[in-house]
Amino acid sequence: MKIETVLIDTIDVGNTLGECVLWRASDQTVWWTDIQECQLFKLSWPAGNLRKYDLPERLGSFGFVFGDDSRLICAYESGFALFRPETRENEWLSRPAALKKGVRLNDGRVAPDGTEVVLIHRTVRGLI
């Protein structure tokens, strides 16, 4: 089976490391993080309105909270938090002691049962 793709549009945002691109059908938006710049982006589709949210630290991955478009579950470099983009409020849920210099939460997804599954990124050998 051959699958063809068509480029619809490009968005010039100049991300250093844009990842974790997610579509939220409830409000027709595309979300992603620029991990290195500590920023979260939201693009309304098809209007093309772009919002940028500055974050307190690097965001490796995030997911949507079922039934609550006002919050995201976030895997920041130092732990997990519920984040409200419109108010920039973080409700920290856990900051594991194993996350120390050279180790951070990284790529992940929300599983169908609502569990946040996250990998770690280690920049220094021998820490874990």
Q: Are 128 and 120 in contact (CB under 8 A)?
A: yes
- Using one digit for the tens of pLDDT, what is the confidence trace for 41-92? 999 988 989 999 999 998 988 989 889 999 998 888 888 899 999 999 999 9
Q: What percent of the chain has pLDDT over 90?
A: 47
Q: Are 58 and 74 in contact (CB under 8 A)?
A: no
- Domains, in order of start, for the chain: 18-122 (2.130.10.10)
Dihedral sign computed on CA atoms, order 89, 95, 101, 104:
negative
Query: Would you state the pLDDT for residue 127?
Result: 42
Global pTM value: 0.78
Q: Say how far apart CA 100 and CA 98 lie, in whole Å.
A: 6
Query: Would you state the pLDDT for residue 66?
Result: 85
Amino acid at 78: S
Please give the backbone phi and psi of residue 72, each rounded to the nearest 5 degrees, phi first: -125, 150
